[in-house]
Amino acid sequence: MHPKNALLLFLLAALAAGEAAAATTLTATLAKLAESDRQITIRWSGLPDPDGLDYVGIYSPPSSSDRDFLGYLFLNGSASWRTGSGELTLPRLPNLRAPYQFRLFRWPAREYSYHHVDHDGNPLPHGRHRVAVSGEVAFESAARPDQVHLSFADRVDEMRVMFVCGDGGRRVVRYGQEKEVGADWKEVATKVRTYEQKHMCDSPANSSVGWRDPGFVFDGLIKGLEPGRRYFYKVGSDSGGWSDTYSFISRDNEANETIAFLFGDMGTYVPYNTYIRTQDESLSTVKWIIRDIQALGDKPAFISHIGDISYARGYAWVWDHFFSQIEPVAANTPYHVCIGNHEYDWPSQPWKPSWAAGIYGTDGGGECGIPYSVKFRMPGNSFVPTGTGAPDTRNLYYSFDSGVVHFVYMSTETNFVQGSDQHSFLKADLEKVNRSRTPFIVFQGHRPMYTSSNEARDFAMRQQMLQHLEPLLVTYNVTLALWGHVHRYERFCPIKNSQCLNMSSSFVYPGAPVHVVIGMGGQDWQPIWQPRHDHPDVPIYPQPERSMYRGGEFGYTKLVATKEKLTLMYIGNHDGQVHDMVEIFSGQVSSNSGVAEVVDDTKLNTRVTTKLKIPLVSLEIVGSAVFALLLGFSFGFLVRRKKEAAQWTPVKNEES
């Protein structure tokens, strides 16, 4: 063929390809997103020879390179994709303080690369064959406050409010006891912080793939609150815009009831494919907790999320998804956290004891605790310097009273052994608990001291916890020890030195805490149970005697306590019903209850005498009273058993 003819054919082919590409359109609506409507519809048409691996990439800011997407959706998610046209929807994308843009790509199967894979080892798109680009989709106001969340502060009459804006200009918190803004509403200023890409300690958190501008985090402290009152509030400014109006009930440490919702390892739902596995089940956890909080009416409660918070793993925008997801809860109910391995761990972190080889890995994705430390502020002032010029790592260990319970939080990712600052804090804190006011102590940390899961990597750490922390829990009569990290639910008996002190599910505190693993909040990777050496020929993993209940159902726990009794309930996400429960009696009674006081060292199980302080009365009156009590107890027991059988949905444990 003559060179001129070859050139002509090449030009014609190029022109035809250009016309085909030009004929493909991609649109995204709404172009402007309101706070009340964040759903985006993506439509395309005119795509020639569609393939099942063609995809739409999601970008923010629009200046991002084709390779640095937030995530992607395959076109085959649309029923009509084979025609070269279709549509997909993205529900409630978070405000990233920059516009979104969408780009359509071809991805031939021959261009798979297992050198560029996601968290599960699946090939990631490479962004080489871009066909069409949408217009930008922006929020009506990037400066408007977002990601509002509450927490208790150091004083009982305070409440902390935190939120994010697109700029660092002046913002305030306005609040009052009337729902509508009026003369009684007050105003408090806020402090503002942020962090930079250079503060991240490694990739992907400090790379162009993982880093996104986090905005500015505002921190307002409301003071002088009356106990147990509902307050309404909003945050923002006239120039930058205001949030919706939210409300909370102030803390009342004289209250005779405590309610909390507790879980670990919940994570985040993200409505597209991305570099890491995200946690769809977290939506159900939030849904059922919202149900339970609404049912409380004006009763106060708070949330406790004990580590592995968002599972961002260095991909900054996942934090935005997380705070957007929890805002309906956290803007109205204090939301408390402690640090987990996926917020903090990286080999460059300062604490590396000899026994920890292989324990503290790369789970933090190069964040090294920075987003966690800036986006939350818990009571107290615990911190560890990073040594890199980055903000200190905070929110490590702290405590507070809520009604009749003293709550303690620890960090399993930083030094906790005897002689450390953390160990000294925990000892001093437990020593000064007022048991007449708060008869129950609930201790919380991320990695468990006891578990029957096959978590061999943490064995050396659990040995250190048994040596350095269990004596504190036993000496100071801790009621409950709650842990995450293992993505299952497991309740142990009251336990000391791996020995049960009581095998019942309802008892007076016997001298050691009940350990409960509550890491079933949403993360879907679940370890197998630990093999039993005394069952070598049985192809299951039976529970050891000290494990009273265990299961793989996603969910959360609800704690309800009065001075007399603390009840912890395990609620499953598939039906919102209680699947396990433990009742622990304090041995105290209210002064106005008319019930004889139970001495602290008594138990309700067999083999132990129950001592009562009973005034001298005639034998006839005592006999009649005892008979009436026994008759009433028997009738109540039968009614309760019938009611529970009708309402509870049993979950099979591994042994059954």
Please tell me the chain's helix, strand, coil percentages from 3-state DSSP, rounded to the nearest 5. 20, 30, 50
pLDDT 10s digits, 539-572: 566 788 999 999 989 999 999 999 999 999 999 9
- Of the given ranges (219-233, 322-336, 585-599), which has the lowest mean pLDDT? 585-599
For residue range 581-610, list pLDDT tens digits in order. 999 999 876 554 433 333 333 233 333 333
pLDDT at 612: 30
Give per-residue burial for 370-385: e unless 16+ CB within 10 Å, then b. bbbbbbbbbbbebbbe
Low-confidence winner among 41-55, 148-162, 305-319, 641-655 (lowest mean pLDDT): 641-655
| Residue 28 contacts residue 135 (beta carbons within 8 Å) | yes
Residue closest to 444 by CA, chosen among 261, 186, 633, 210: 261
What's the pLDDT score for residue 34?
A: 80
The predicted-structure confidence for 372-391, as pLDDT tens digits, reads as follows 999 999 999 999 998 788 89
User: 3-class SS at 233?
Assistant: strand
SS3 annotation, 116-142 = CECCCCCECCCCCEEEEECCCEEECCC
Q: Give the residue-averaged pLDDT of 485-499.
A: 96
pLDDT, averaged across the chain:
87
User: Rounded CA gap, 651 and 647, in Å?
Assistant: 13
Residue 271: pLDDT over 60: yes
Question: 366: buried, middle or exposed (CB in 10 Å: 19+, 13-18, 0-12)?
Answer: buried
* Bridge partner residues of 507 (DSSP): 584
pLDDT in tens, 177-209: 999 888 899 999 999 999 999 999 999 999 999
Q: Cα(465)–Cα(412) distance, rounded to whole angstroms?
A: 9
pLDDT at 588: 78
Looking at the DSSP bridge assignments, the partners of residue 362 are none
The tokens describing 13, both together, are 């082919």
Please determine, for residue 611, whether its predicted confidence score (pLDDT) is greater than 90: no
Q: Which of 218-227, 456-465, 625-634 has the lowest mean pLDDT?
A: 625-634
Domains of the chain in start order, with CATH, are 25-139 (2.60.40.2840), 258-585 (3.60.21.10)
Q: How big is the chain by its Cα radius of gyration, in Å?
A: 28
- Determine whether 295 is exposed, middle or buried from the number of CB atoms within 10 Å of its CB (0-12, 13-18, 19+): exposed
Q: What is the pLDDT of residues 412-444, one digit of tens each?
A: 999 999 999 999 999 999 999 999 999 999 999
Instruction: Please give the structure tokens belonging to residue 530.
Output: 């630990």
- Mean pLDDT across 30-54: 89
